[in-house]
Amino acid sequence: MPFMEKSNFVDQIKIFCRSGHGGAGSKHFLRNKLTAMGGPDGGDGGRGAHIILKGNSQLWTLLHLRYFKNVLADNGGNGSGNNSSGRNGQDIIIEVPLGTIAKSEESDVLEAEILEHGQEVILMRGGRGGLGNSNFKTSTNQAPEYAQPGEEGQEGIKVLELKVLADVGLVGFPNAGKSTLLSSITAAKAKIADYAFTTIVPQLGMVEYRDSKSFCMADLPGIIEGAAEGKGLGHRFLRHIERNSVLLFLIPADSKDHRKEFDILKSELEKYNPEMLQKDFVIAISKSDMLDGELKEAIAIELPKNIPHVFISSVTGDHLQALKDLLWNTLNTTRV
């Protein structure tokens, strides 16, 4: 697909991984000019190299792994005489953005989750090194002719997926004005990422709040009706919403049916993952500069009574501070 070749935002990749084979233990006996028939002195084999995922807060995409198709780790070195152990294989560390999960392609079971900067998780363990024959000497077997081979490493195809980590996730149809809102309440220099993703642009931004406080907001790609069934790229979009603490539903003032639009968005989230409904919701009616007081009252009556709402205009700046206050209070109430 040509459009993906031009994309700088990569949120899912597959990599073939093989950890290192453990080195063989040595079957060796002490022999020198002073000792003609010495005892066993075979050293242990070294451990095969691990493949490790490490969190890096400066990464925002899996783009750097795009052509990293095969990860083949070093084998451990073999043991040798004089009880010398083989060297361990050099571990391979794969740096990934926070919010990355790893699954086996075969079983689809979650195997790793990276949430913190510097966090390390062993994705595939290297094989243990074999024991040298010096380990098997006993009172009844003074000259064991046996040493262990090293354990085999692991191999398989791993799927890495990125789920955006943000405090607030913007949810809405493509015409809701999410990008406009984000650019209005985040300074241009504070924008963290702006990656082309097909024809839609996911963005992360830091929203400056009062007293030098801030919170992170993600402009998530637009949900379309049917996304939960995988229509279009729906599943890939919805995956990014799972980690947000608060979901901000952005509904344009010129929508034909504000309540229906909210219900569709909520329904798509529920069908994808019912746990989404346990998050805190906030509704913002965008483009409200085109509304008078009477129309605002009529729209407010349509909206769910148990979800806070605010009328905003990203163009004029109306009530953007009120929106920040509402989001900040909701976030901090959630975290108590």
Q: Rounded to an integer, what distance in angstroms lies between the CA atom of residue 48 and that of residue 21?
A: 5
Residues 235 and 330 in one domain: yes
pLDDT in tens, 185-228: 875 333 334 433 333 445 677 788 888 777 888 776 655 555 55
Picking from 45, 122, 53, 55, the residue whose alpha carbon sits closest to that of residue 89 is 45
Q: Kindly report the pTM of this predicted structure.
A: 0.64
Q: List the domain range (segments joined by +) for residue 124.
A: 1-162
Residues 153 and 130 in one domain: yes
Cβ neighbours of 287 (radius 10 Å): 22
Query: Residue 245 has what pLDDT?
Result: 82
Examine the fold and report which residue of 98, 131, 162 is the final residue of a domain before the chain moves on.
162
Residues 54 and 20 in one domain: yes
Residue 177: which residues within 8 A CB-CB, separation 6 or more?
Answer: 250, 252, 286, 287, 314
Dihedral sign computed on CA atoms, order 100, 104, 110, 116: negative
DSSP state of 99: T
Crossing angle (nearest 10°) for helices 293-302 and 258-272: 40
Picking from 323, 182, 172, the residue whose alpha carbon sits closest to that of residue 241 is 172
pLDDT in tens, 12-24: 899 999 999 999 9
Provide the domain count of the chain.
2
Examine the fold and report which residue of 126, 144, 162 is the final residue of a domain before the chain moves on.
162
